[in-house]
Amino acid sequence: MIENRPFTSFLSHLILILGVIAIALPIWITFVAATHNELRMNQTPLPLWPGTYLWENLQKTLFGKGLSGSETAPVWMMLLNSLAMAMMISVGKIAISLLSAFAIVYFKFPFRMTCFWMIFITLMLPVEVRILPTFEVVANLGLLNSYWGLSIPLIASATATFMFRQVFLTVPDELLESARIDGAGPMRFFWDILLPLSRTNIAALFVILFIFGWNQYLWPLLITTDTSMTTIVMSIKQMLEAAEQSPQWNIIMTTALLAMVPPIFVVISMQKLFVQGLTETDK
Amino acid sequence: MAEIQLTDLTKSYGPTEVLHHVEGDIKDGEFIVIVGPSGCGKSTLLRMVAGLESVTSGEIRIGDRRVNELEPSARDIAMVFQNYALYPHMSVRENMAYGLKIRKLPKGEINRRVEEAADILEIHQYLDRKPRQLSGGQRQRVAMGRAIVRDPQVFLFDEPLSNLDAKLRVQMRLEIRKLQQRLGVTSIYVTHDQVEAMTLGDRLMVLNGGYVEQFGTPIELYDRPASVFVAGFIGSPAMNLLPAEAHSDGIVLPTGVKLAGAQTQSGSVLLGVRPEHLVPDQDGPIAIDVDMVEQLGANSLLHGTLSGTDHAMVASIPGHVATANGTQQRFSAAPEVLHLFSPETQKRLDA
Ligand SMILES: Nc1ncnc2c1ncn2[C@@H]1O[C@H](COP(=O)(O)OP(=O)(O)O)[C@@H](O)[C@H]1O
Ligand SMILES: [Mg+2]
């Protein structure tokens, strides 16, 4: 659609600008709230322009004991917990699905397709569905309140296995044969050829999985009782509950702002590869 | 450098046998072309030599070793694929060096070999490019470079030129031939193109439906095709084939005309005569109703039917001829250019 009439052009810009405002306004308000002090945030009308307390709020939030009155871990620790969980989930998922896709595509073994379909079926069993038995297993293994407990039950991934299978299927057989003639064994082929060829897909998947891991709420809530293991997404919810009594919007909003930073950083740093991974077809 | 021996080779996929009792001795330094129509098992045979397909029964020997059970990398071969199969994420240099790196050759030696191959193939200026930045012909050179650096006993080519345009194909064909003669490496080359086969091969193995129809020099195949299939496959335009009766004193055409000449055969036969062996002759015994003339410049092709029958015939006459469509032309053919085949076995009769 290449039209160039002033009115349609105006209209489409209008719609785009409204869209940007709708998305950006809440983030702006969060940012503004993070730059005022507690007192100002409890007066109406709410401020629309930044104040001067950003630095102070950041310090209070990152290193303080959370909301006054409720004893929680400092936010830097929560960020670290979330980061560890998200990294373990995304790296774990990618590593395991790469290997299972490799096995399914390149090795002949009995019940190969059965294995594939069993992996596939787990698509229907996200952690929310199997939460009680999974909790039981994790508790019996003594993994409550640990990074392993936070991440392992979320690591198995049918989607990623399936995606890597599709990627591997597009790699021409002759590359494998060339590698065999060159003397590369299976693992060498995997490292030297398959991995570099899947680079952009890995990056794209990493972005998606990192955000998936970062945003986990229900599972961490269930298996962490120790405040030092709280993740940041959980804590925002807890702060909101606490806010019923004494709203400290400046702290809550600063926390929310901080929670956004790592995902944004991951998206921006992977953006180029991410787009290539989603659009590139040429092997 | 090495001989290759194929002994009673058979290949089955499940219950279907796709190669039947293939035999062949390839001498050191020979350039062998395996030729045949699509699906006849050429690639399968080549890939068995390479070790990419298992051997169902029979034996493959390279040099003095039985290689049936050896991994491809242990057979001391190099293969050039139709789609080049270059590693897309590696530069040309890395592509060529990869196999040597795995064999843990010293860095200096690897560099020396890559440079040497790049010299031979004139691909120095591309060494640091990725395959996707090269044209088809350049990729083909790199694929050959990758084969050369390995310094193998045997080169294997699977239709390496069929992704190139016609002009480049002719040029690369000559280069491959020159390269092979210069390096003197025993080579097996697979193609479905009979012209490519005739120009490249020291000897040709003609495959049809998994059977070796004939294994010989291009001239042997042209002069004494062992079967109807080879007769029709080698030479362009294809040999004319007519049902005929052989008698001790000559051959009777379907028109009733007798081509004189003593025969050792008798009974019904398939008579073959190449278009270029039909000589225009006012009183010749072979009459053709011409219905189309193709002027090729150097020669002219007269397409038509044997007069009074519906057997298609083609004659090739040097130079330009002004023959009107619909006229009758007469030809004769020397006795020594007539080929006789058995209608039952399709094999050549006068052994
Ligand atoms: N992996 C396979 N499984 C079953 N049949 C195969 C396989 N590969 C090749 N074939 C069959 O073997 C025959 C020969 O194939 P191929 O060697 O590729 O022919 P060509 O290279 O002469 O065109 C074909 O009929 C093909 O269908
Ligand atoms: Mg083939």
**CATH code for position B32:** 3.40.50.300
Per-residue pLDDT of chain B (351 residues; tens, 9 = 90+): 689 999 999 999 999 999 999 999 999 999 999 999 999 999 999 999 999 999 999 999 998 899 999 999 999 999 999 988 999 999 999 999 999 999 999 999 999 999 999 988 888 898 999 998 898 889 999 999 999 999 899 999 999 998 888 888 898 899 899 989 988 999 999 999 999 999 999 999 999 999 999 999 999 999 999 999 999 999 889 999 999 998 888 888 888 888 887 788 888 999 999 999 999 988 888 999 999 999 888 899 999 999 888 899 999 999 888 777 888 899 999 888 999 999 999 999 875
- In chain B, the number of structural domains is 2
Place of tokens 């936070």: A150
Q: Which residue of A has its CA nearest to B98?
A: A182
Does A196 contact chain B (CB < 8 Å)? yes
B38 near B44, Cβ under 8 Å? no
Ligand 1 pocket (Cβ < 6 Å) reads B 13, 18, 36, 38-44
Q: Give chain B's count of helices (H) and strands (E).
A: 8, 20
User: From residue A139, how far is each of A132, A136, A145, A183, B285 by CA, in Å?
Assistant: 10, 5, 9, 47, 100
B264 near B350, Cβ under 8 Å? yes
Interface contact flag, B102 A178, Cβ < 8 Å: no
CB contacts of B51 in chain A (<8 Å) are: 180-181
Q: How far apart are CA A50 and CA B24, in angstroms?
A: 87
Give yes or no: residues B154 and B271 share one domain.
no
Give yes or no: residues B191 and B74 share one domain.
yes
Give yes or no: residues B168 and B258 share one domain.
no
Domain of residue B304 covers: 237-349
User: From residue A189, how far is each of A35, A186, B104 by CA, in Å?
Assistant: 53, 5, 16
Decide which of B232, B252, B282 is a domain's last residue: B232
Nearest CA to A134 out of A151, A110, A116, A158 is that of A151
B35 near B206, Cβ under 8 Å? yes
Q: What ligand 1 atom has the least distance to the C-alpha of B14?
A: 4
Interface contact flag, A177 B77, Cβ < 8 Å: no
Interface contact flag, A177 B103, Cβ < 8 Å: no
Decide which of B208, B232, B256 is a domain's last residue: B232
Interface contact flag, A283 B88, Cβ < 8 Å: yes
Q: Kindly state the DSSP code that residue B156 receives in the 8-state scheme.
A: E
> What is the CATH number that goes with domain A75-279?
1.10.3720.10
Amino acid sitting at position A15: I
- Chain Cα centroid distance, residue B264: 32
Helical segments of chain A, H only: 6-33, 38-41, 54-63, 75-106, 112-121, 131-140, 147-155, 158-169, 173-182, 186-189, 195-197, 199-214, 218-223, 232-243, 249-279
Give yes or no: residues B28 and B117 share one domain.
yes
Distance to chain B for A192, nearest Cα, Å: 10
Per-residue pLDDT at A240 exceeds 90? no
Give yes or no: residues B190 and B333 share one domain.
no
Other C-beta atoms closer than 10 Å to the C-beta of B297 total: 7
CB contacts of A282 in chain B (<8 Å) are: 132
Q: How far apart are CA A251 and CA A59, in angstroms?
A: 10
End-to-end CA distance of chain B: 35
Interface contact flag, A180 B72, Cβ < 8 Å: yes
CB contacts of B52 in chain A (<8 Å) are: 177, 180-181
What's B322's domain CATH number?
2.40.50.140
| φ, ψ (nearest 5 deg) of residue A246 | -130, 85
**What's the whole-number mean pLDDT along residues A242-252?**
72
How large is the ipTM? 0.84
User: From residue B159, how far is each of A65, B46, B217 by CA, in Å?
Assistant: 72, 11, 20
Give residue B83 CA to ligand 2 midpoint distance, Å. Answer: 11
Q: How many Cα neighbours within 13 Å face the side chain of B57? A: 7
B191 near B159, Cβ under 8 Å? yes
B327 near B300, Cβ under 8 Å? no
Mutate to test the interface with A, among B73, B82, B151 (most CBs of A within 10 A): B73
Q: How far apart are CA A184 and CA A191, in angstroms?
A: 10
Q: How far apart are CA B327 and CA B321, in angstroms?
A: 13
Decide which of B232, B250, B280 is a domain's last residue: B232
Give yes or no: residues B220 and B250 share one domain.
no
Nearest CA to A116 out of A84, A153, A164, A79 is that of A164
Give yes or no: residues B223 and B339 share one domain.
no
| Domain coordinates in residue numbering, chain A | 75-279
Give yes or no: residues B306 and B250 share one domain.
yes
